[in-house]
Amino acid sequence: MNAKLTKSRQRAICSELGRVRLQLLYKASVHGFTGAAFHQQCDHRSPTVSVGYNNSGFVFGGYTKQPFNQSGGFVNDDKAFLFTFTGEQLLKYPVTGPGNAVKMIENSGPYFGEALVLVYGSKPVAYSSPGNYYNFTAAEMHGNDLNLTECEVYQVEESSELERPWRTIVWESEKRAGLIESIKSYKPTVSSVTQARVLLIGPVGAGKSSFFNSVNSVFRGHVTSQAISGSSSTSLTTQFRSYSVKAGREGKPLPIILCDTMGLEESKGAGLDIDDLNSILKGHLPDCYQFNPSAPLHPEAHGYHKSPRLKDKIHCVVYVIDSCKISIMPTGLEEKLDAIRRKVNLIGIPQLVLLTKVDEACPLVKEDVRNIYKSGYIKEMMQEVSSRLGVPLSCIIPVKNYSEELEVDTDCDILLLSAIIQMLRFVDNYFDELSDRMSNMQTKEACPASRPMTAGTDLNLLTWMMSDGASGRTGPQ
């Protein structure tokens, strides 16, 4: 069901009730303009907000903390109030007789004192009698139009919404345009590398392929599905794929390649093999390599890169985690992720975590993706990921992939583009670390007494990795 009450009016009502949200229980046009339908959907649910709509454009109703029933008597509620709207402004009429605040009538909808009844007598009409335990004027409340076009009842639920966002993000189309331009103009700090290579790792169904499709959609201007994605108990990705995103349908490739892998699985001998992962990180694996969990890639295999250059290696690793499954992540899968993280740490590759499906995990975010950093629940999920995977909170980025949409959305785009920007920043960290190591080795080469005999070998290795050396830096802003 789609709520008829606008977001701004919902916020106006919620501001009177604290940190809450409204969940639609009853919609007369769907369930029926009858007392029976109303009671079936709303009895024993509380607190509630009831809303009536008429042809004159008035939106009016009442709030009660008491659960509805069909006892036929009055119930006490000192917090009850009636309301109407003038534009988007809420006008509130507190109860004047708390002992008769709400009446529980079988054959009608919400019944506030003897002052206002919605779906009166199981008909699409309202009953109004100002002064009976609530003071208001009929003209101001509903314009003397008692014919209802719609009636809705919402349950008031506690919200995980924080008072202010704990991360700052600008939700404007200009911001989206700026992020796109920053990505297009990015250049790795090493001249031998033209495209940053980012490896996506995660459990089956976490959204690795969907993330690439979503990023690709941003630059295409509509939702695309180049990489195979969907729901399955086993990995839909069976090949190692290196996806280059283009700036538009016939645009140039962007300076980032997203590498997709077979999904991780809990059991041994299933999903991505750790030995294959080592080959991927070091740049040995060819594009379109067919994964075989029971037999990792052999150096003599067709297409094996025996002498990969820096441009072939992975420059940033991103773990893709389904936010709906964090608390039920199997121990075996968590152990696999820990083993991978330790291996990546030893190689010195920066690591990020993408938290996907945040809209499915949190109703507040499903309602409006702009609430992502105002959701206390999402923050708790990110803190749990930080603890279980051993990564700082600053390295965890929540995103919403495109799944059911046909057209792109500015707010979703901003989250996706911000994630790419953070990846490019971490790629810069990788190249900076290589450059620093090479500089340190050069310094020690000049002072043989302070360096073991292997220094020359290490220096030659780093010089080869850096190839043409550092270029003029144009990084993400």
What three-state secondary structure class fits 22? strand
Beta-strand ranges (E) seen in 295-362 are 316-322, 351-356
Which structure tokens are listed for 50? 């009831």
**CA 254, 259, 260 angle in degrees (round to 5)?**
130
Q: By the 8 A CB rule, do 161 and 21 touch?
A: yes
Confidence at residue 475, expressed as pLDDT on a 0 to 100 scale? 53
Q: Rounded CA gap, 150 and 32, in Å?
A: 10
Q: Rounded CA gap, 200 and 259, in Å?
A: 6
Kindly report, residue by residue over 37-46, the tens digit of the pLDDT: 999 999 999 9
Q: Rounded CA gap, 83 and 72, in Å?
A: 24
Q: Rounded CA gap, 469 and 322, in Å?
A: 39
Domain(s) labelled CATH 3.40.50.300 in the chain stretch across: 173-437
Angle between helices 410-445 and 208-220 (to 10 degrees): 110
Confidence at residue 325, expressed as pLDDT on a 0 to 100 scale? 87
Kindly report, residue by residue over 426-451, the tens digit of the pLDDT: 999 999 988 888 777 767 666 655 44
Confidence at residue 239, expressed as pLDDT on a 0 to 100 scale? 74
| Cα–Cα distances in angstroms (integers) from residue 129 to residues 51, 117, 134, 314, 428, in the given order | 17, 9, 9, 72, 70
Confidence at residue 447, expressed as pLDDT on a 0 to 100 scale? 62
Q: Rounded CA gap, 8 and 16, in Å?
A: 13
Which structure tokens are listed for 273? 């093999």
Which structure tokens are listed for 159? 């919200």
- 46 burial (CB, 10 Å; 0-12 / 13-18 / 19+) is middle
Confidence at residue 235, expressed as pLDDT on a 0 to 100 scale? 45
Q: By the 8 A CB rule, do 334 and 264 touch?
A: no
CATH T-level assignment (fold) for domain 173-437: Rossmann fold (3.40.50)
Which mean pLDDT values do the consecutive 10-residue runs of the chain (477 residues) have?
90 88 95 97 97 97 97 96 95 96 96 96 97 96 97 90 87 96 94 94 88 94 74 54 85 92 70 74 77 62 79 94 86 86 92 95 88 90 91 95 92 97 96 83 62 43 45 49
| Cα–Cα distances in angstroms (integers) from residue 21 to residues 13, 255, 346, in the given order | 9, 42, 46
- Number of Cα atoms under 13 Å in the Cβ half of residue 210: 26
Radius of gyration of the CA atoms of the chain, in A: 30
What does the CA dihedral 126, 132, 133, 134 come to, rounded to 10 degrees? 60
Confidence at residue 242, expressed as pLDDT on a 0 to 100 scale? 83
Phi-psi group of 262: left, alpha or beta (phi > 0 → left; psi -120 to 50 → alpha; rest → beta): beta
Q: What are phi and psi of 106, to 5 degrees?
A: -70, -40
